[in-house]
Amino acid sequence: MINCFKFVGKYFLLSGIRQLAGQTIWYGLSNVLAKLLNFLLTPVLTYLMVSNKGLSEFGDFSLVYAWIGVANIAFTYGLETGYFRFCNDKAINERKLFNTTFGSHIITTLLFTAVIIYFSQPISNFLEIGRFPQIITISALIIGFDTLAAIPFAKLRQENRPRKYAFIKVFGIVINISLVIFFVYVAPTYFYNSDNFLLKAILGQNRVTLLVLANLIQSLVVFVLLFAEWSQFRFHLNKKLWQKVMHYSTPMIVIGLAGMVNEVMDRQMLLSFLPHSIEENKQIVGIYSANYKISIFITMFINAFRMAAEPFFFKQKMKKAHLMFMPK
């Protein structure tokens, strides 16, 4: 009987490892392709924005996205990992967990987004883009939609659906890149004399605004594509369950912020501490950020494994606990 249980345990382990490997490939392919597409966009932008003004705008773009990365951690506050942790708890109803975590994100996202939009002018002054507070407003909406997509994406990963996850991720990036090329190159080159209201509005914006606008459209499309995952949401927060998930998830805020600040705050430090004019510092930030993109190939495989590993190891923990309490 003991040997039988050992065999069952080994079977679950081997099948689990095969499942982890398969999902890592899918998450890896989507991650690699997404990073590759973003990487290919960098030489396009640096070619189209090669002037001193373009370098300065690319520096603004890089600074805005550095802070977007930090804000994403604060907006999601670790609930994605908390969702994985408690989704495998048989004592907790999965629908109730989804409603609680997704509902929590809705409330806090509306609040945080409203605060950022209200203070868009002071924030844009801090980032030295005071003439364009609309960049901060659009960025706040990007963070908001990305946050609302976090739990539905976690649901896809939890339900072992890496194909749909990969499709939505890659499709969103394709939309972003297509819009960036249209906004930055096609519209100014071929439609500069157009009387079309939308085209005139596009041509009247600075390029940083257009770049974040392309990302906003991407985030909105991705959220809509996740409709099947959030369409059955009902606004019912379970207070005790929320407190339980938050107790587990809160340390992720500190960990996430520490990692993100370490990764992206060098841009802000370059802007603030280099002994040149603001415009020259922005140009240096733009050059630095473009070269930094080369390092993405080092981290993409780590991210691919992490995407598959989080839900996998939580599930294995529950299976192991179940086997321990099976009668001998």
% the chain with pLDDT above 90: 24
Q: Is the dihedral angle over the CA atoms 32, 165, 26, 317 positive or is it negative?
A: positive
What does the pLDDT look like over 114-148, one tens digit per residue? 999 999 999 999 888 878 889 999 999 999 999 99
What is the per-residue pLDDT for 313?
A: 63
Asked whether the beta carbons of 235 and 99 are under 8 A apart, the reply is yes
% the chain with pLDDT above 70: 77
Q: How far is CA 97 from CA 107, 201, 225, in A?
A: 15, 43, 21
What is the per-residue pLDDT for 232?
A: 86
pLDDT exceeds cutoff 60 at 326: no
pLDDT bracket for residue 319 (50, 70, 90): low
* Interval 47-51 mean pLDDT: 72
pLDDT exceeds cutoff 50 at 46: yes
pLDDT exceeds cutoff 80 at 186: yes
* Interval 81-108 mean pLDDT: 87
What is the per-residue pLDDT for 13?
A: 46
- Least confident residue range of 7-11, 46-50, 77-81, 94-98: 7-11
pLDDT exceeds cutoff 90 at 149: yes
DSSP 94-148: HHHHHHHHHHHHHHHHHHHHHHHHHTHHHHHHHTT-TT-THHHHHHHHHHHHHHH
What is the per-residue pLDDT for 8?
A: 42
DSSP 227-278: HHHHTT------HHHHHHHHHHHHHHHHHHHHHHHHHHHHHHHHHHHSSS-H
